[in-house]
């Protein structure tokens, strides 16, 4: 399923022309997220490749995010993927409350490709919660060389960018069909 992301009106971008994201179910619990950024990629700060380790504060530079609220699981899950291959996963019990490191079955597989007009990011992750009906929001934080940041999401609410708002989790990801 392809989803167009929109820049929050309070924080637009001169470098990015558009972002299209997608989520694909590869198995009942394995999801592949993808973000395709088009524009003046040379004007975007892209973190250098490094070890694929869990890291905090990835949103302070260019990173790609998914927020999921799945039936039968309280709160919601935040996933962050950096072009550097660093990643983060957090469970929240309620809106911005009760944050703990989320347990994943395995680290995400993150890949990045870039050319003069495109940056493609993909992350494949195993999530037990994904076996249930979920609502999600796919997002991106883009840092530009001129110092600005833009905040992209499938859905925005409010005067300031806030990916944690569950009223923005507008993309439905149905549970896999059971045999």
Distances (CA, A) of 139 to 36, 72, 133, 135: 12, 23, 20, 13
Residue keyed to tokens 């059971």: 178
Residue 178 lies inside a defined structural domain of this protein:
no
Helix, coil or strand: residue 42: helix
CATH number of the structural domain spanning residue 99: 2.60.40.1190
Residue 27 lies inside a defined structural domain of this protein:
yes
pLDDT digits (tens, 9 = 90+) for 63-114: 999 999 998 787 999 999 999 999 999 999 999 999 999 999 999 999 999 9
Burial zone of 146 (CB within 10 Å; 0-12 exposed, 13-18 middle, 19+ buried) = exposed
- Mean pLDDT, contiguous 10-residue spans, the chain (179 residues): 93 93 92 97 94 94 96 90 97 95 94 94 91 93 94 94 94 84
Residue 47 lies inside a defined structural domain of this protein:
yes
Backbone angles phi, psi at 163, to 5 degrees: -70, -15
Residue 179 lies inside a defined structural domain of this protein:
no
| CA terminus-to-terminus distance, the chain | 22
Residue 54 lies inside a defined structural domain of this protein:
yes
Q: Give the model's pLDDT for residue 146.
A: 87
- Domain, as residue range, for 68: 2-173
Distances (CA, A) of 178 to 107, 127, 174: 26, 17, 11
Domain count, the chain: 1
Report how far residue 178's alpha carbon sits from residue 89's, in angstroms, rounded to the nearest whole number.
27
């Amino acid at each position: 399923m392809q989803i167009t992301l929109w820049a929050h009106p309070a924080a637009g971008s001169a470098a990015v022309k558009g972002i299209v994201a997608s989520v694909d179910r590869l198995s009942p619990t394995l999801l592949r997220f993808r973000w395709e950024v088009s524009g003046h990629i040379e004007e975007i700060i892209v973190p250098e490749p490094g070890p694929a380790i869990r890291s905090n504060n990835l949103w302070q530079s260019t990173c790609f995010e998914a927020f999921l609220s799945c039936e039968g699981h309280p709160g919601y899950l935040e996933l962050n993927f950096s072009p550097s291959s660093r990643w983060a996963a957090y469970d929240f019990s309620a809106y911005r409350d009760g944050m703990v490191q989320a347990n994943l079955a395995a680290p995400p597989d993150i890949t990045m490709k870039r050319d003069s007009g495109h940056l493609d990011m993909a992350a494949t992750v195993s999530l037990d919660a994904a076996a249930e009906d979920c609502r999600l929001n796919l997002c991106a934080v883009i840092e530009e060389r001129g110092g600005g940041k833009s905040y992209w999401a499938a859905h925005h609410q409010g005067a300031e960018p806030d990916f944690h708002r569950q009223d923005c989790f507008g993309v439905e990801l149905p549970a896999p069909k059971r045999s």
